[in-house]
Amino acid sequence: MYRELEAIDTVRVPPTRLDEPRDKVIKEMLENKIEGKIDRKLGMFVAVTEITEAGGGKLIPNDAGVYYNVTFKCITYRPEMQEIIEGEVVEIVDFGAFIGIGPMDALLHVSQITSDYVSYDEKNARLVGKESDFSLDEGDYVTARIIAVSLNEQDPKESKIGLTMRQPVLGKIDKDEEKAEKTEVQIRKVIGEDKKPETEEQEPETKTKETPKEKPKEEPQEEVEEVVLDLEDKPIETDEDKPEKKESEEVEEESEEVDEENEFVECRVCGKEYKAITGSHLATHDLDMDEYREEYPDAPIRPGD
């Protein structure tokens, strides 16, 4: 994993370079001093990026050089356990492959490449699977996980980093497929950009073509037809039919009046109208029903009698 750090160190500028720009000389001296070196906690120093502060120089007896306490920014790389990395195969050997991971190389042992038995093809300088068509050549790219880290401060070349590809998502990266996918995406983008102006140009034409096709809805005609149908079903009244209607209305009114008159009967004793002549009413005249009928034989008892 790469990091940007701010560090402090003491830099000696030789007397032969005291006439040159101070910061430029200090940066060059720092690069020669720490780049490529390894610190167990910080990792490998990759580059010095900036000199942020350089105090006044100090002289030491019997030394013509000038010493500066310098604060600077730098980039370091420290491989972390279980970190997933992507790297290029830089060398194939009989016991595995060395993978370049930034400024350092890591070992991918044959036992950690795949579940298939892997052997070394010395003639073609590659690793091949026994039962599968797997092969690993120099220049191939792989995705692997760091499973061992041993940094050597005294001799950075002796540092050891172990990798594995025998886990899900890890393995050889097919660069041809990636290139094909990128090319396909670029082609789609180019085609999409080319088609956009055509679509914009065609839009007005499409609108002009569609405009005549849109016909107004014939709702008024449909309503007229419905009205006509209603008129056909109903008899049309004329002036000749109006007197007949008046006569029929007069007859109905007379029949209603007769019905209203027939709803009551007249008591022949008191001359008042009642819905019916009852025994209780006749008792008020000291008569019963038989006596009333004998005295007034044509008198109705109920409407309709």
Helix, strand or coil for residue 193? helix
Among 60, 30, 43, residue whose Cα is nearest residue 152: 43
- pLDDT grade for 1, boundaries at 50, 70 and 90: confident
Q: Does residue 149 lie within any of the structural domains?
A: yes
Report the alpha-carbon distance of residue 125 to residue 100 in Å, rounded.
Answer: 17
Among 107, 95, 93, residue whose Cα is nearest residue 138: 93
Residue 135 contacts by C-beta under 8 Å, 6 or more apart in sequence?
126, 127, 128, 129
Better-predicted residue by pLDDT, 110 or 302: 110
Q: Does residue 172 lie within any of the structural domains?
A: yes
Mean pLDDT, residues 84-110: 93
Predicted confidence (pLDDT) per residue in 163-180, tens digit: 999 988 899 988 766 555
Claim: this prediction has a pTM higher than 0.75: no
Out of 60, 77, 94, a domain closes at 77
54 with 92, same domain: the answer is: no
Beta bridge partners of 97: 92, 108
Q: Which amino acid is at 53?
A: E
Q: Does residue 188 lie within any of the structural domains?
A: no
pLDDT of residue 276: 80
88 with 63, same domain: the answer is: no
Q: Does residue 208 lie within any of the structural domains?
A: no
Q: Does residue 225 lie within any of the structural domains?
A: no
User: Kindly report the CA angle at 22 between 54 and 15, in degrees rounded to 5?
Assistant: 110
Whether the pLDDT of residue 289 is over 50: the answer is: yes
Share of the chain above pLDDT 90, in %: 40
Q: Does residue 255 lie within any of the structural domains?
A: no
CB atoms within 10 A of CB 217: 8
Q: Which two tokens stand for residue 25?
A: 């000389």
For residue 117, report the phi and psi dihedrals to the nearest 5 degrees.
-70, 125
Report the alpha-carbon distance of residue 295 to residue 289 in Å, rounded.
Answer: 10
Give the DSSP letter of residue 114.
-
Q: Does residue 203 lie within any of the structural domains?
A: no
Least confidently predicted of 139-143, 195-199, 230-234? 230-234
> Which residue segment(s) compose the domain that 131 sits in?
84-176
Count of domains observed in the chain: 3
Report the alpha-carbon distance of residue 72 to residue 81 in Å, rounded.
Answer: 28
Out of 148, 176, 204, a domain closes at 176
48 with 107, same domain: the answer is: no
Q: Does residue 301 lie within any of the structural domains?
A: yes
Report the alpha-carbon distance of residue 262 to residue 256 in Å, rounded.
Answer: 10
Whether the pLDDT of residue 272 is over 60: the answer is: yes
31 with 106, same domain: the answer is: no
Give the DSSP letter of residue 156.
G
- pLDDT grade for 201, boundaries at 50, 70 and 90: very low
Contact 45/36 with Cβ under 8 angstroms?
yes
- pLDDT grade for 189, boundaries at 50, 70 and 90: low
169 with 127, same domain: the answer is: yes
